[in-house]
Structures are given as C-alpha cells and as structure tokens.
C-alpha cells in the first residue's frame, strides 16, 4: 500500500511488515523542520504496525539527503539553532533506537545530516554513483546529529577523521571498502535493492535480530570479557523467553519457522 503524498515532504509505502519512508522535499531533501516532522510521521506508522523493517529512500534524483537546512540555520538566533539541532537529533535517534531494523537506500548525495540519517539505519545500500560526506567543517561547524560518534564506529578513527577534517566526499566504492555502506548496487537501484533486503530481513526472528544488534553494539564499548558475558546472557534469554523454541522445533520438523 502506498499512501498519497499530497505534496508532503515524505511519502509512506507499507508492504506487509515493511514501512518505506521516501524523502521528497525539493530540491535536495534538506532536513528542515517539515522533513523532520515527516520522518516522525513515518516512524509513527512503523510503531502502529508494528514494522519489522523500515526503509528510508528518496524520490529526488541525485540526492538521498543533502544535509541540514542551511537556509534555516542562516536565519535563526542561538536559541532557535539549538532547538533545530535538538529536533533533528530527536528524529535521527528515534530511527536509530527503533525496534524495527532499518535500511537506508542511498542514490546520489548523502551529505551532512543526510549521511547522519543514513548512518542511524541498521544497514546501508548505495548506488554506484553515490557520494557521501560530512562537510560541516567547511561551514565552521561539526557534525551535530551523531556523525562524530557513528562514523568512527563504522569505519574506524583514522578514516573518520580523514572524512570529517577534510570535509571531502567519499565515492561508493570507497564507502564499501571502509564499511560506510554494506551493499553496493548499480546506480539507480538502491531503493529496489533496499526493499529486497528488507523482505529478506523479515524472515528470521526479530527478537534474535535485535539481540544481534545489541550484542554487536556492545563490542564497541565493553572489554572483550564483558562483551562475551553479555553475548551469553543474550542467547540464554532467547532460549528461555525468545523464539528459539519455535526455531529449533521447525528445524527438527523440517519446516519454515513461524516467528512473530
């Protein structure tokens, strides 16, 4: 089901347990307040289903999202700048912490806040003509919606500093090589590939998938011995109260599991 956009800055497409939020704010999907509100509307829809996977894509040729709304930033005082930053961070963090897995479909430019939005997703699929970057230093700023934190987690300290200190753009092949994106597809195919990945992600146990994400994330901020202990706790929890009993029974009975 596709919901009409009526000129809205984003439209929604619902296919079973998959919600696709398609950014559509001319000319370049700048993440101003209207688009931030539209992101929340899409996440509300994902909550209501509830969705297993969220896809974030773009209807704008050549752009995933060009970044924060610089025109808005140029016209506000310090208090309004702070409020705008809080609003953008709230939308990005809501996506990052959502129960559903998420996939960013990047075709074209993903810069500044646009890349921060993509990095908040669980996985990123990019077309071969995509370019990504965090150019905030060229404005006398730093990434302010999670970029300084998520980029090092994805690519490591050195590559993250290289990208942020120079403000340069990374092409899709480099992005794949350093781990900024997870799958590389032909130009223009990112949304289709992201939908296919979303359908694939709907098959396994959502409880187990969420535990995978939690456990992998723990590897970044815990010593190895604590991470291993957390891993053991997660698998025990899944065995006792998750969907492991159905998965194991289905394997023994040679049938597809029926996960929630």
* Residues with a known catalytic role: 116, 136
Separation of alpha carbons 3 and 194, rounded Å: 19
Comparing CA positions, the residue from 95, 139, 85, 86 lying closest to residue 119 is: 95
Task: Give the rounded distance of the alpha carbon of 183 from its chain centre.
Answer: 13
- Name every residue whose Cβ is closer than 8 Å to that of residue 183 and which is 6 or more positions away in sequence: 123, 124, 125, 126, 176, 193, 197
**Length of the chain, please?**
260
Check: CB of residue 181 under 8 Å from CB of residue 110.
no
Check: CB of residue 29 under 8 Å from CB of residue 23.
yes
């Amino acid at each position: 089901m596709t919901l009409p956009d009526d000129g809205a800055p984003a439209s929604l497409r619902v296919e079973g347990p998959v919600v696709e939020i398609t950014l559509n704010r001319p000319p370049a999907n700048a993440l101003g307040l209207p688009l931030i509100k539209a992101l929340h509307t899409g996440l509300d829809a994902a909550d209501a289903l509830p969705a297993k996977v969220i896809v974030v894509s773009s209807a704008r040729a050549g752009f995933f999202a060009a970044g924060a709304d610089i025109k808005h930033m140029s016209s506000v005082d310090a208090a309004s700048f702070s409020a705008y930053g809080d609003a953008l961070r709230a939308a990005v963090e809501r996506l990052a912490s959502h129960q559903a897995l998420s996939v960013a479909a990047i075709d074209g430019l993903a810069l500044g806040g646009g890349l921060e939005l993509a990095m908040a997703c669980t996985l990123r699929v990019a077309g071969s003509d995509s370019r990504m970057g965090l150019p905030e230093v060229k404005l006398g700023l730093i990434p302010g919606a999670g970029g300084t934190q998520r980029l090092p987690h994805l690519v490591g300290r050195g590559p993250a500093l290289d990208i942020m200190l120079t403000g340069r753009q990374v092409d899709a092949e480099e992005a794949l090589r350093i781990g900024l994106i997870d799958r590389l597809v032909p130009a223009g195919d990112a949304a289709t590939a992201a939908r296919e990945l979303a359908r694939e992600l709907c098959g396994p146990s959502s409880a187990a998938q969420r535990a995978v994400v939690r456990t992998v994330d723990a590897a970044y901020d815990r010593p190895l011995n604590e991470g291993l202990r957390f891993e053991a706790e997660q698998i025990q929890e899944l065995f006792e109260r998750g969907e492991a009993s159905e998965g194991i029974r289905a394997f023994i009975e040679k049938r597809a599991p029926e996960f929630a």
